Amino acid sequence: MTPPRWRPSAAPSTMSMRLERQPDEVIDRDAPLTFTWNGRTFPAYAGDTIASALAACGVRVFSRSFKYHRPRGLLTASYLDPGCMVQVDDEPNVRGAHRLVEPGMRVSSQDTWPSLEVDVKAANQLVGRFLSAGFYYKTFMGPSRLWPAYEKVLERFAHGGEIPDLESYDRRRHHYDKRHAHPDVLVAGGGPAGMAAALAAAEAGATVLLVEEEHALGGHLRWGGDDVRSALAELRRQIEGTAAIEVLTDSVVLGRYDDNWVSVVQRGLPTVDERLVKARAKTLVVAAGLVERPYVFAGNDVPGVMLSTAVRRLIELHAVSPGRRAVVLRANPDGDAAVAALRRVGVEVVHVEDARRGGDIVRVRGRDRVRGVHLADGRRVACDLVVTATGWTAPVSLLTMAGVVPVYDARAARFRPDTTQLPDNILATGGVVGDGTLDELIAHGEATGRVAATRSAVVGRRWRAASPTAGGQVDSAAEPCEASPPALPVDPHPELFRARTHGIVDFSEDVSSSDLVTAVAEGYASAELAKRYTTATMGPVQGKLETVNVVAIVAEATGRSIQQTGTTTWRPPYAPVTLGALAGPEREPVRRSPLQAWHEQHGATPLVAGAWVRPDHYGDPAAEVRAVRDGVGLIDVTPIGKLELHGPDVPRLLNLVYVNRWSKLAIGRVRYGVMCAEDGVVLDDGVTARLAEHSYLMTTTSSGAATVWEWLESWLQTEHPEWQVHVTAVTTAYASINVAGPRSRELVRRVVPDVDLDPEAFPYMHVRTGSIAGVADCVLWRIGFTGELSYELHVPAGYGLHVWESLMAAGSDLGVRAFGVEAQRILRLEKGHLIVGQDTDGLTRAGSAGLDGLVKLDKEDFAGRPELVWQDRVADPPRLVALRTSDPTVVPVEGSQIVTDGSHIRGRITSSRMSPTLGRSVVLAQLDAPLADAGSKVTIAMVDGRRASAVVTEGLAQVDPEGERLHG
Amino acid sequence: MMLIPCPWCGHRDAAEFAYLGEPSPRPDPSTATPEQWRGYLYLRDNVAGPVTERWYHRMGCRRRLLVERDTTTNEVRPHRSLVEEES
Ligand SMILES: [Zn+2]
C-alpha cells in the first residue's frame, strides 16, 4: 500500500519575501523563470536555489521529518540543509537548498513515512515504539511471523524519494563519467584561505586543482558584505588569471586515500549527471572552513528557526527575507553580523539574546511556523524567525582520513585537528585549523600554498627516485620537507550545545537529545554506541551538523568531559555520490573477430562469451550440426587463446605446466594437453604445436587465454628466470577458422594448393604452415573438437575475412555452411569432449575430469603433481561420465542434481543437449565414483521437481567412439 | 589507493597491479609432505608491519616485482633486490 503523498499547503503567491536588489546577490533579475513545486507554478530567477525561490514566495515548509513527521523548513540554507531534500523530475534526494532552479523543473516534496493517515490507521501500535531510542533494535525483535510486516515497515523507513522504474528510466538522458587528474597540489575548499593557498602554490610553480562545494568561490566572504567585497573580487580576479589553477565548483572532495589518492565528485555539468574525478595529488591542502552548528532546545526544528549563516545566505546571495520579526541568540561576531543584516533589510529584530553575556533561549512555540520564543529569564516574545549563532564545527573528515585525531578545544568550543600528526603530503589552512582576521587567513593560506608547492616537488622527486630505470637508485626519502607555517590563532568561544530543554540533535534522523540521554541510561555510554543505537549522525547529513552536539550530550549524560567522550569516526565519502558516478560510463568493451560483421550480415544471433561477441547460431543449430556430420561446416574460432613460445627451454616449460609429456614433441606435431594449478585443479586445456626447432604455437580455451598467459609468465618470472623462453600473446593476430566435416579435406584442398593434405602426409594431430587462398604465413593443424575430420586454420587477422569468404565460395557445391557456438557445443558433447570450466569447476582435479590417462605421474615435476599423486592414492574421487536418459526426449537442465535415496546429492549434470545426430539427449555429469561405472543407473532431480532415470554409458563419446571420423 | 613503485614503470596506481601476496617458496614436489605443500598453497604469515610482497603489474609492464610494504601504514618501498630475477 502506498501511503498518501503528503503535500504542503500552497503558499499564497502574493506573500513575496523577495528583497530589493542586494549588492552581492547571485540571482539574475533579467532572467526570470518558472518551475513547479508539487504541481503549482512558482516564479524564480536564474541563480536561485530551489529553496531560495520557494522561500522568496513565502514557502516555509519543505518536508516532513523522518520519524515524527514534523514539518521542516530551512536550517542552513546550504547543501547540508536537512529540511529540504526534494524530488526533481525523476531524481530523488536532491538538496533543495543547493540545487539551482531551472526553467520548467518539476520539484516535489518527498514521501516520508508514516504519513499522517497511516499513523492512525495501519501502524498504530508500532509507531509508538518507533519514537524511542533504539527503536530499530527494540521494535523488530520477534516473533518471526511478523517479519514480513517488519520488512514493509523498514522499507518505508528508507530515506528518499522515488527512482523511476526501469521502463521509464531514460538511459540516454543520464550520463556519468570519470576523469583522472594529476595536480601537484589539490586544494579542498575555495574560501579565502583556500584561494590564497591555490594562488601561492601556482605562483611557486605548482599545478593546482581547487575544489569548491558551492557554486562560486569565496566561502564565507560571499555573504560578508561591504568589508570583504573588494578582497573577494581581487582573489577571484587573480585566480581567473592564473592558468595553472583549475577550479571545480559545485564539486566536493569525497575522500583521501593512501598516497593522496583524492576522489572528487563534480556536479552541475551541462551534459553529465555527475563526474568522479580521481586525482593523484602530490600534496593536499585541506581548507574546508567551518560548518555552523545548530543549537539544541525545544522546538529547534520548527520552520523559522535558522542558523545565522542561513539568514545571511538568504539575504545576501538570494535577496530573500528570512522572516518579519526575529529573535537572535548570538555568541560570536557572525551572530552580530546576522543581526546587522536583518536590520539592514528591514526585518524587525525584536530581541537579541547574547550568549556571551549569559543569555539563552528555552523553547520555541509553534508547529508549522515559529510563533514565539521563551527566553531564559521567563519572558515570552512573539516572532516568526529565531536565529542562532552558537558555534562552529571544523569539518575535519579529510584530515582524519589521513590519521589525524581531532582534539577538543574547550576554549574554542570545537574539535580541532592536531596538524602535527599530518603526513608530509597534507597541509591544512583556514577555518578548519584556526580563526583570524581576513588578512591572517589569507596570509596563512599563502604560506600554506607555498609549502604545499615545495613539498609537491619533493614528493615528485621521491617517486622518481624509487624507480631505478628512470634516474638511478637515489634514496631521497631523507630529503626534508619544508615545515608547515605557524598556526593560526584560535578565538575563544562560549561552549553552547544544549539549552535547558531537550530538542532535535540529528535533524535528518529525527533523533532528540532525550533519545541520546535514554541511550546512555540503557548502557550505550560511548559516542560510537549511542550513535548506532539512536542512529544519530547516520542520516544524509552524516554528522556534519550534529556530531559535536551528540558528543556533548553523551558527555553530559555520562558525566565525562567532551574530550574523554571523543568524537565519532569520519569516514569517506564526505558527501553523497551517486552509484552512477562511481560506476562511470557504460563501457564494456567487447572483442570482435574480423569475421563478426560477416556473421551478423548472415543472420547470426550474437552471443557474448567472456570478452568476445560470437555467433551463437545462424537460425538453426540442429541443421548446422547435420551439415558438419554429413558434409562440411565452418566455424569462426578466433577467440581461442593463442600464444607463441620461442626458445630452447620451451619443452621444459611445457613439461612443467601440462600434466602430460612434452619432451619429445616432433616438429610438425600437435599434442593435446591439460594444465592444472598447484592444487591439482584443472586450469585449462588446449593443443600446442611445434612449428620449428625453437618455435611453438600454444592454444588455450577462449576464456582462459589471459589466465594461461599469466600462468606461463608467472613460472618464467618467479621460479625459472633462467629458462630461455619468450611468450607472445597472438590471439588477435590471427583469425582462426575450423573447417569440420567429412568433406573438409576436399574443401581445404581447393584453397591450399601447396600443402599435401593426403592423410598419410598430413595425419591427425599434425601441423603444417603454408598459404591459404593466397595468404602466406598461415598455420594449419589437424585436430577435431567436433569429432569430425577437421582442419583448424590460423590466418593473419587482416586476411581472415578473405579466407573465410574464399572457403565459403569454394565449398558452395559441397553445401558448406557456417556453424556457431551452439552447434559446436552439441557436436563436442556428442563426441564426449569436455569443456574446462563447464564440465569441471573450481574443485575438479584432473582425475575427476576423465583425464587420468593423460596425467603422467611418473614425470618428475609438473604444476599440481603432488596433489594429483595424493588424489590418486585416496579412494575414488568423483568422475566425469556420460549419461543416457531412459526417456530419450528428456534433456535435464545443466546443473540438475543426481540424487540417491530421494534427496542425497551424488553428482550433477554439467552439459546436456538434444543430439540431432542421435535423436536423443546427450549428457555429461560429474558423479560420485561408486555410481560412475558403466551401466550404473542413476536418478536425476529435474528443475520442475520430476525425477528422470539415466544410465552411465561406456566411455564419454556417443558419436564415433572409435574415432574413425576424426582420424580419417 | 596506494602507489606501487614498479622498477620498470615508476610509481603507478595499485589498481594497475594484481596482488600476489607474500612469496611462498615452492617445496620440492618430489619430497614435500601434504602439510608442506598446503602450507605453500594456502598459509601466509599475515604480519602486521613490514612485509615483502609480490605484485604483478598486470596493466603495465606485466612483470612480477617485489616490494616492501608496511601493512599498518601502507607505506610501500621497492624491495632491496628490486626485481625478482635478481633476488
Ligand atoms: Zn611496470
Give residue A331's pLDDT: 97
- What are the CA-CA distances from residue A235 to residues A247, A277, A542, B46 (Å)? 13, 25, 32, 51
Residue A863 in grid coordinates: 604444476
Helix (H/G/I), strand (E/B), else coil: A138: helix
Sheet holding A372-375, edge to edge: A361-365, A372-375, A380-382
* pLDDT over 80 (residue A171): no
What distance in angstroms lies between residue A695's CA and the mean position of ligand 1's atoms? 27
Residue A851 lies in a domain: no
- Whether the CB of A723 is below 8 Å from some CB of chain B: the reply is no
State residue A174's pLDDT score: 78
Residues A653 and A782 in one domain: yes
Residue A139 has pLDDT above 70, yes or no: no
Sign of CA dihedral A804, A806, A812, A813: negative
In a domain, A906, yes or no: yes
From ligand 1's centre to the CA of A800, what distance in Å? 33
Distance A467 CA to ligand 1 centre (A): 10
B1·A679 Cβ contact <8 A? no
In a domain, A55, yes or no: no
**Which residues touch A51 (CB under 8 Å, ≥6 apart)?**
A62, A74, A77, A81, A84, A96, A97
Neighbours of A207 (CB within 10 A): 20
Quick count: other Cβ atoms within 10 Å of Cβ A441? 27
**Are the CB atoms for A770 and A780 separated by under 8 Å?**
yes
**Ligand 1 centre distance from Cα of residue B45 (Å):** 26
**A647 within domain boundaries:** yes
Exposure string of A2-29, with b = 16+ CB inside 10 Å and e = fewer, is: ebeebebeebeeeeebbbeebebbbbee
Pairwise CA distance, residues B80 & A295, whole Å: 57
- Residue A467 touches partner B, C-beta closer than 8 Å: yes
Q: By CA distance, what is B67's nearest residue in A?
A: A466
A535 and A668 within one domain: no
pLDDT in tens, A547-588: 999 999 999 999 999 999 988 778 889 998 999 899 988 788
> Long-range contacts of range A773-781, CB-CB < 8 Å, 24 or more positions apart?
A773/A799, A773/A802, A773/A803, A773/A806, A773/A807, A775/A799, A775/A802, A775/A803, A778/A803, A779/A689, A779/A691, A779/A697, A779/A734, A780/A748, A780/A752, A780/A755, A781/A670, A781/A687, A781/A689
What is the DSSP annotation of A614-652?
A: EEEESS-HHHHHHHHHHS-EEEE-TTSEEEEEESTTHHH
Q: What average pLDDT does range A241-248 have in this prediction?
A: 98
How is chain B split into domains, by residue range? 15-48
CB-CB neighbors (< 8 A) of A713 in chain B: 62, 64
Average pLDDT over residues A659-676: 94
- Report the residue of chain B nearest A679, measured CA to CA: B41
Same domain, A654 and A791: yes
Does residue A126 surpass a pLDDT of 70?
Answer: no
Higher pLDDT, A273 or A190: A190
Q: Which CATH number is A556's domain given? A: 1.10.10
Instruction: Nearest chain A residue to B2 by CA: give it.
Output: A258
- All three cell numbers of A620, joined, read 538453426
Q: From the CA of A182, how many Å to the nearest CA of chain B?
A: 12
Mean pLDDT, residues A500-520: 93
Read off the CATH number of the domain in which A912 is found.
2.40.30.110
Which residues of B lie closer than 8 Å to A, measured between beta carbons?
1-3, 5-11, 13-14, 23, 26, 29-30, 32, 34, 37, 40-41, 54, 56, 58, 62-64, 74, 77-78, 82, 84-85
| Identity of the residue in A464, A473, A721 whose CB atom sits nearest the CB atom of B10 | A464
**In A658-799, which ranges are continuous DSSP H helix?**
705-714, 744-751
**Probe site for chain B from A259, A659, A679 (most B CB atoms < 10 A):** A259
Same domain for A919 and A814: no
Mutation site for A-interface testing, chosen from B64, B79, B85 by largest number of A Cβ within 10 Å? B64
The rounded distance, in Å, linking the Cα atoms of A443 and A423 is 22
Going by their DSSP bridges, the two strands A682-692 and A734-740 should be labelled as: unpaired
- pLDDT value of position A468: 61
How many angstroms away from the CA of A289 is the closest CA of chain B? 26
Q: Is A443 in the same domain as A546? A: no
pLDDT band at A14 (very low <50, low <70, confident <90, very high): very low
**Residue position matching grid coordinates 601504514:** B73
Q: Which conformational region is residue A815 in: left (phi greater than 0), alpha (psi within -120 to 50 degrees), or beta? A: left
Q: Give me the torsion for CA of A550, A554, A557, A559, rounded to 10°.
A: -130
Q: How many CB atoms within 10 Å of residue A276?
A: 21
Cross-strand pairs, A909: A925
The set of residues, in sequence order, having a beta carbon less than 8 Å from that of A562 and lying 6+ positions away, is A408, A410, A551, A552, A555
- Closest by CA position to A73, among listed A350, A297, A299: A299
Q: Which of A828, A852, A886 is the last residue of a domain?
A: A828
In this structure, is residue A701 part of a structural domain? yes
Which chain A residue has the Cα nearest residue B20? A714
User: Touching check for A41 and chain B: CB below 8 Å?
Assistant: no
Report the residue of A424, A714, A718 to disrupt the B interface, i.e. the one with the largest count of B CBs within 10 Å: A718
Instruction: Give Cα separations from A150 to A64, A127, A137, A142, A700 (angstroms).
Output: 22, 12, 12, 10, 52
Interface size, chain A vs chain B, as Cβ–Cβ contacts under 8 Å: 72
Would the CB atoms of A867 and B37 count as touching at under 8 Å? yes
Lowest mean pLDDT among A129-133, A223-227, A778-782: A129-133
Q: For B32-87, what is each residue's pLDDT tens digit? A: 999 999 999 999 999 999 999 999 999 999 999 999 999 998 988 888 765 344 43
Give the residue on A whose Cα is nearest the Cα of B23.
A718
User: In terms of pLDDT, which residue wins out, A681 or A850?
Assistant: A681
**Is the complex ipTM more than 0.90?**
yes
Question: Would you say residue A444 lies in a domain?
Answer: yes
What is the total count of domains within chain A?
Answer: 4
Angle at A324 between CA A319 and CA A328, to 5 degrees: 95
Is the Cβ of A766 closer than 8 Å to some Cβ of chain B? no
From chain B, the residues in CB contact with A866 under 8 A are 29, 32, 34, 37
Mean pLDDT of A904-921: 96
How far B51 CA sits from the closest chain A CA (Å)? 17
A906: cell is 551424488
**Do residue A714 and residue B32 have CB atoms under 8 angstroms apart?**
no
Same domain, A509 and A456: no
Cell numbers given for A137: 533494535
DSSP-based three-state secondary structure for A740? strand
Beta strand A904-915 pairing with A897-900: antiparallel
In a domain, A520, yes or no: yes
- For the segment A403-416, the average pLDDT, to the nearest whole number, is 94
Residues found in chain B: 87
Residue A653 sits in the same domain as residue A708: yes
pLDDT at A118 over 50: no
* DSSP code per residue over A490-550: -------SB-SS--EEETTTTEEHHHHHHHHHTT--SHHHHHHHH-TT-STTTTTTTHHHH
Instruction: List, in sequence order, every residue forming a beta bridge with A64; answer none if it has no partner.
Output: A71
- Strands A612-617 and A591-592 turn out to be parallel
Residue A452 amino acid letter: A
Residue A172's identity, in one-letter code, is R
**CB of A669 closer than 8 Å to CB of A766:** yes
- pLDDT of the residue at A11: 44
- Contact between A205 and A607 under an 8 Å Cβ cutoff? The reply is no
Residues A633 and A696 in one domain: yes
CB contact under 8 A, B11 and A721: no
With an 8 Å Cβ cutoff, are A258 and B3 in contact? yes
Which residue, of A587, A612, A639, is where some domain finishes?
A: A587
Yes or no: say if A927 and A907 are a contact pair by the CB < 8 Å rule: yes
pTM of the model: 0.87
User: A784 with A824: CB under 8 angstroms?
Assistant: no
In this complex, the residue of A466, A469, A870 whose CB is nearest that of residue B34 is A870
Contact A338, A308 (CB under 8 A): yes
The fraction of chain A above a pLDDT of 90, given in percent, is: 77
* Contact with chain B for residue A463, Cβ under 8 A: yes
Cell numbers standing for residue A592: 570482435
Using the 8-state DSSP alphabet, how is residue A478 labeled?
G
Is the CB of residue A527 less than 8 Å from the CB of residue A548? no
CA distance B44 to chain A (A): 16
On chain A, the residues whose CB falls within 8 A of the CB of B22 are: none
Domain assignment present for residue A169? The answer is no
Nearest-neighbour CA in chain B from A273: distance (Å): 25
| Inter-chain touch A714–B64, beta carbons under 8 Å | yes
Q: Write out residues 511-540 of A within 8 Å (CB-CB) of B.
A: none
At A210-219, the pLDDT tens digits run 999 999 999 9
Residues A794, A778: Cα–Cα separation, whole Å: 6
Q: Which domain holds residue A196?
A: 176-290+396-470
What is the distance between the alpha carbons of residues A329 and A316, in angstroms, rounded to a whole number?
Answer: 20
Give the closest-approach CA distance of A394 to chain B in angstroms.
25
Q: Give the three-state DSSP class for A279.
A: strand
Name which of B8, B9, B11, B81 to mutate to probe chain A: the one with the most chain A Cβ atoms within 10 A of its Cβ. Answer: B11
Distance between Cα B63 and ligand 1 center (Å): 6
Name, in order, each residue with C-beta under 8 angstroms of A113's C-beta and a sequence gap of 6 or more. A3, A156, A157
Residues A626 and A528 in one domain: no
For residues A36-53, average pLDDT: 96
| Minimal C-alpha gap between B17 and chain A (Å) | 13
Distance from CA of B87 to the nearest CA of A (A): 9
pLDDT single digits (tens) A421-474: 899 999 999 999 999 999 999 999 999 999 999 999 999 988 887 766 544 454
